[in-house]
Structures are given as C-alpha cells and as structure tokens.
Amino acid sequence: MKKNMCVASKSFSVKTLSALLFGTAGVFFAPTMLGLAPQAQAAVPAVKLPDFSDLVDAVGPAVVNIRTTERLKMTAPGAGGQDEQEMQEFLRRFFGGAMPTPRQQGPRGGRRGVPQEQEVQRGVGSGFIISPDGYVLSNAHVVDGADEVYVTLTDKREFKAKVIGADARTDVALLKIEGANLPRLTIGDSNKIRVGEWVIAIGSPFNLENTVTAGIISAKSRDTGDYLPLIQSDVAVNPGNSGGPLINMRGEVIGINSQIATLSGAYNGISFAVPIDEAMRVGEQLKKTGKVVRGRIGVQIGEVSKDVAQSLGLPNAKGAQVSMVEEGGPADKAGIKPGDIILKFNGAQIERSSDLPRLVGGAAVNGKSTVTVWRKGAQQDIAVTVVELEAEKTAKKGTKEQEAQAVNALGLKVSDVPAAKKQELKIDAGVLVDDADGVAALAGLQPGDVILQLNNVAVKDAKQFNALVAKLDPKKSSAVLVR
C-alpha cells in the first residue's frame, strides 16, 4: 500500500469519491419564509482558521534538505584505443543520449584508460534536526544505497552527513552532521494527537526546498505494515517530502512523513507519517548500536472474525488467532498451539492481530514475557522467552571475478525475477536489475527495476537478456522497457 516518496511511489487502488454541489444563483429561502419553525441547535464554538506564519518562522530553520549521491566508475571518452571508443559510442547510442563526461581526477597526462569516479545525484528528501549537536531524523529509504549524504539548512549551510543507522521496517534513519548550537525541533507526543487537529508539513517536494503545506489529522494508527501504526493526514505530501516533519500547532513534531496513497505518483489526498514516539525509540537504538533489535516468538497469526469469536465463546472479535507455530521456536517450547487466540502480551490488550508483532518486537530479547491465550473457553497465561528477530536478509556479493562476469556490456547485472515478485507485479517474465553502473545508472536504471523488453523483444530470463545485449549493434539506438 506504500510507497516511498524519495525515488518512486507505487500506485494505490483508492476509490475516488465525487460530490455534486447544487445551488441556486441569487435566491435564498430561510425556514421562516417557507413557514417552517426554526429548530433548536446546539451551540458550536466558532473556529477561526489558523495562521501558520509564526509557527513556520519558529520551526522552519530546523527542517533540512537531504540530497544523496553515488560514485560511479567510468572511463574518460577517448582515453583508450579504438575498441574502447566504440564501446563508448555503443553506450551512448543504447540510451539514446549524450554520455556525460566524467570528472577528471589525478594529474593531467596520466595513464590513458584508467577508470575514474564520477559523483552523480541519486535522490532528494527531507529531514529535521533533533539536537543542537547535529543529530537528524529522516526516512531510511531516503538514504538507502547512497555513497554520500548532504544536509542543507535554510541558511544555505551544507554539511556532509554520516548515516548512524537506518531501519527499513519502520523507515527511520538517523544522521549526524558536525555542528553546534544548531536549530532543533521539539519532540511531541504522538499518543496525544487527535483526529481533526491542524498540522503542517515542511520539506522539499520535487526538490523545492522549505515548502510548507497544511491540513488535518485524518486518522490514527493506520495499519500498513507490521511495525508501522501510521498517522494519516490530508496534508499535501509529494516525492521529496520523505523524511520531513509533521508538526502540530504547538510547534512539536509528531511524525515523519513517509508514504502517500496515490493514483498518479504524486499527492492524491492521503499521506502517512511514522509516529514520532516510534521514530525516537528507533533513533535511540540506532544511536547506541547502529541497528534495531526486535523480538519474535515464532507464530503465524491472523485476524479473529466474528464467526470464530462466537464459535469459541469469545465476547468480542479481538486478539490474534494462531494459525501456525514454528517447530522448535519460543512459542512451541512454551506450549502455544495452533488455534489459540492471543488476547494479551505482557498485559497489553491485542485489539487487532497487527498489535502483536509490534508488542513482541519491542519486548526484551532473551527475557520472559507473558502471553495470555484463549483456549477451550478459558484464558490461560503462558510464559514465553522472546528471541531476537533476524535482520532483513540482503543479497550476498560474489567474488570480484564472478561479479565482473555477471555484469554485461551495458553495465547491468541482472537475475531472474522471483516467482513471488512476478505474482506481485502481475508479469510472466523479465529480469531483475541487481546492479547498474556507468551510463546505465546515469540513465536512471536502479537496482530493483524489472526489464520487460529489449528492442521490443520480450525478455524471458537473465541468460536470454545477456545474450540479446551481446548481439546489439553499437551503431544503432536501442530501447528498453522497464517496470
């Protein structure tokens, strides 16, 4: 249902509500004119529209622009022999545009054909300072894959930032810039927010720095992921706003703008923010250890339907129904069984199944926790030892020789698309971009893209794609269809 606003956004299946407004020009009929008695109405206090100017003056200096870059290794045009020059022309033609000249490095007249590094912009996002000594909160997807991160303040000072850590599950990143007496935002309490209260967002949508938008909180605790009970608002948020603050009328940050619901890739009336309470908890762990440690008990769960609740004698359709227990896992060892309904975890009520992973994730690892289950018409407390949830797995790199063999003439390293990914994207074939270097990256291809066609030829798998690339005519332009 996501997605990220730094680089790209996934489309949402969102129903559009239309309203027809009917009016009569120049004529108004009061109830007394129609012979209708005026009805008593409860007095509602008049609400004035807010003026955000003083608020923006106070909090704006602590909101920063974040740009990320990556270093690409390229060989200067004309540096090598004829074969190398032909390859340069081939790469230019393949992407249909002029190839940028790499930044020259080293003394003039150096060895010809030596690869040189060029720093190219990767993405733009936002962030905000939370301490006078330069700690900055943003989104994990803003800094993902970046070689360098630059933070720019409203007074145009620019700092090279160090990424202290990033947590993909909550989409929170902690950065550090070297400074003193820096402006900072006051941290609010996201548990005290109210639906309908005014909020503002400040960020860099489409790289337009220090853009302010306003709206109201539309809903609290929207479930869009295991660890993200998000704040929903109607504040206009677009690509580039990622990592910027959601601020209440007291000048307190209550969330980090992270996702949008969109039909077009841009703002469509619904945006989501990570609650600041969760973001600060993650930030503290990142500051201490550079990573986030979460707990697990080894169960697969689902929602409790009304029919299930009635059949089991539960007064309400609440809790998390255990559908599977990991063999040899903590829950299995403790005696939790499939069919149990988990009602509480360490005394906290489980209203929905999504509450359980968040509570277990925040529990002390290797410590005892109490799980209250509903079994055979009665509640039962079970002691479970919480173990550490494994970090998200990343693809392992092979040897340099293997990687060199896997990268084709276009600077692309590809692999077959996993079956689950095909089902998700509703495609039958294609190749997944694992790495993009040189002009392939400059043209916009990124890891995670899926190539569907090359010169109108359907791409079936990695082997076929690399064979097609090897047969391309360097004197002709080629077209690539990318998902």
Q: For residue 439, which of 33, 95, 8 has the smallest C-alpha distance?
A: 95
* Catalytic-residue membership of 51: no
Residue that is written with structure tokens 């060029």 in the block: 118
**DSSP label at 407?**
B
Cα–Cα distance measured from residue 262 to residue 112, given in angstroms and rounded to the nearest whole number: 49
* Catalytic-residue membership of 141: yes
**Position 141, amino acid:** H
- In 103-149, where does DSSP find H-type helix? 140-143
Cα–Cα distance measured from residue 405 to residue 53, given in angstroms and rounded to the nearest whole number: 58
3-class DSSP assignment, residue 88 = helix
3-class DSSP assignment, residue 357 = helix
What does residue 190 show for φ and ψ, rounded to 5 degrees? -70, -15
Structure tokens at 429: 């074939």
Signed CA dihedral, 349, 350, 351, 357: sign only: positive
Give me the numbers of helices (H) and strands (E) for the chain, helices first please. Answer: 11, 26
Structure tokens at 245: 């603050």
Cα–Cα distance measured from residue 240 to residue 66, given in angstroms and rounded to the nearest whole number: 9
* Catalytic-residue membership of 242: yes
Q: Looking at 9, 126, 138, 141, which residue is catalytic?
A: 141
Q: For residue 259, which of 244, 278, 277, 280 has the smallest C-alpha distance?
A: 244
Distances (CA, A) of 156 to 183, 185, 219: 13, 18, 36
What does residue 117 show for φ and ψ, rounded to 5 degrees? -95, 140
Question: Does residue 255 contact residue 190 with C-beta atoms inside 8 Å?
Answer: yes
Question: Does residue 187 contact residue 177 with C-beta atoms inside 8 Å?
Answer: no
Q: Looking at 171, 340, 355, 449, which residue is catalytic?
A: 171
Question: Does residue 307 contact residue 325 with C-beta atoms inside 8 Å?
Answer: no
Question: Does residue 444 contact residue 411 with C-beta atoms inside 8 Å?
Answer: no
Structure tokens at 467: 């064979």
What does residue 306 show for φ and ψ, rounded to 5 degrees? -65, -40
Q: Looking at 138, 204, 233, 242, which residue is catalytic?
A: 242
Active-site residue numbers?
Answer: 141, 171, 242
